[in-house]
Amino acid sequence: MGDSAAGSPTPAVTSFGYFLSCEDHGPAQLVEQARMAEQAGFTSLWISDHYHPWNTTQGHSPFVWSVIGALAEATSLPVQTAVTCPTVRIHPAVVAQAAATSAVLLGEGRFRLGVGTGEALNEHVLGDRWPPAAVRLEMLEEAVRLIRTLCTGRETTHHGRHYTVENARLFDVPEGGVPIDVAGFGPAAVELAGRIGDGFVTVEPDEDAVARFRRAGGGQNPVRGGMKVSYDTDRDRAAKAVLDRWPNMFLPGELAQVLPSPAHFEQASRLVTEQHVTESGIPLGDDPEEHVRALLAYRDAGFDAVHVNQIGPDLQGFFDFYRSKVLPQLAA
């Protein structure tokens, strides 16, 4: 967990990875994208963990742990879930087993578990009550403690406020356990990440959040971010792809956490216009300078790594574009 070192210096080197979207692609497509990402020069992988897509246009939601098993054989890149909710839909004891097995398969230093408080969209599917935000944070803190203990390989009995485990032991665990990074957006979640996380995960180049994480106990632990882009040779077509596939990104407040189904997100997303997309700052089209500027904002905010997700359909064009025109500038 984090130390109490002060300050939020810009990392000497920010690495650039690829973000695999389980909402937007089937399992075989995700594995192929991982191969393409490694060939293009990306240095790590994020992968989302969903039961549902945000809308039916996205149209996918494979079981992330099966995909990670395939990634272990398909590439040599490090992999992180971004993020798993280990509190409602899946008991933390089961998440611990999945994470430990993934870490063993991927090999030393190649797996990190990213966790967060989740969304009703994915977590209410068994009919469980969807708790308020403060309770979700409390559940996450207990779940992380339990996962850490189980990933040591010790037999564990735990009778907590939210979870019970009796005589549980994982027999296949990685040496040194599984690093757990915590996602956060609001102040309470960011401070929780600082207190209990081995790192911090977020999707905005928010320098204030990075500083809050470090002050709360994160110290010099790594900060990793995610960013969406829409590469296309036609800027208008790139914007339309965002509006068609990811309008949920522009919904305000807590809607992303409380709406229960893709149909509800589709209804709310009717309020989103192309102007929201074009004024959002998401890189659109094939101007390498626009993509580079957006990525360097994360570096300047103190991030250790940024993971890029391509929204548009031209994946081969995107990977060629980043390999030849974007990643070389970032390396320079």
Helices (H), 15-55: 27-40
3 state DSSP class of 142: helix
Cα dihedral: 11, 17, 22, 23 (round 10)? 70
CA distance 295 to 331: 12
Structure tokens at 14: 């920010």
Pairing mode, strands 15-20 and 111-115: unpaired
Is residue 276 part of the annotated active site? The answer reads: no
Is residue 119 part of the annotated active site? The answer reads: yes
DSSP state of 125: T
Specify whether the CB–CB gap between 208 and 287 falls below 8 A: no
Burial 286-316 (b: 16+ CB within 10 A, else e): bebebbbebbebbbebbbbbbbbbbbbbbbe
CA distance 142 to 324: 45
CA distance 14 to 16: 7
Catalytic entry in 23, 25, 38, 50: 50
CA-nearest of 91, 80, 106, 114 to 175 is: 106
Q: Over 225-246, what HEC string results? A: EEEEEECCCCHHHHHHHHHHHC
Catalytic entry in 23, 25, 52, 119: 119
CA distance 165 to 14: 39
**Going along the chain, which residue ranges are E strands?**
15-20, 45-47, 79-81, 111-115, 156-159, 164-168, 180-183, 199-202, 223-229, 305-310
**Which residues form the catalytic set?**
50, 119
